[in-house]
Structure 1
């Protein structure tokens, strides 16, 4: 079930399974979120916090959008330490956008892409 809250904190948990990164998403209370999907009904900021259990020194460096001009997300910022991504959603456009987190690691110069969570804007009641 997706989280429905504009000003929310979602933990992006990355574990290693058989040497491969596996992403999961949860609330700060530890409740799992299917695919990290968020439904927005009012303007606010969605914050994603990295929980790196890989020992590979993962850091966020950006977010790639499948449809960057759809008006769903208005801006993103990445913290200087690469542990947080904040997405500003003014909730002006109805619809759904898909994206992938882009991460670096301390083991090599390759970048890692997350599975694609999505943000859905719904009109306010």
Structure 2
């Protein structure tokens, strides 16, 4: 099974808007929107690891993922680690197609849910 890992940093800008940046693990250079797209050709697991910064909202945790097309068969399962710092997507690559989704997070600052811009997974047959 293939694995893909992304570090996710969320900060709040001067206009109180959450800004999401994605990184290759250990890198300090944000990935472009094209580099964040995951193209799958076989069963895979995708990890999103939350990296806190001094500008992150207090108590930020993953609560899940929201899908625009939840019945397209691209992503089969979503898991959140017990401490909320890791979101895991399971893609068995049974169906072809594209799935757009949003990372969902909560903070201890309020009871509202933050939604990321759209990551994307594309399934292709080998």
**TM-score for the superposition, normalised by structure 2:** 0.88
Report the Cα distance in structure 2 between the residues aligned to 1:109 and 1:25, rounded to whole angstroms: 24
**4+ residue segments displaced more than 3 Å:** none
Contact in 2 for aligned 1:40/1:121 (Cα 8 Å): yes
SS in 2 for 1:34: coil
CA distance in 2, matches of 1:88, 1:63: 12
Whole-angstrom CA distance in 2 between matches of 1:22 and 1:99: 16
2:103 counterpart residue number: 101
Distance 2:58 2:38 in 1: 27
Give the deviation of 1:8 after TM superposition: 1.2
Could you tell me which runs of 5 or more consecutive residues in structure 2 were left unpaired when the two chains were aligned.
Answer: none
Counterpart Cα distance in 1 of 2:39 and 2:26: 18
**Per-residue CA distance 1:37-85 (angstroms, 9 max, x = gap):** 2111111101110113214221000110000000000111000111001
CA deviation string 1:17-48 (max 9, x = no partner): 11321001111031532233211111110111
Deviation at 1:12, TM superposition (A): 1.2
Aligned equivalent of 1:110, options 94, 109, 112: 112
Q: Over aligned residues, Cα RMSD in angstroms?
A: 1.6
> What is aligned with 1:23?
20
Runs of at least 5 residues in structure 1 that lack an aligned partner in the other structure: none
Q: TM-score by structure 1 length?
A: 0.88
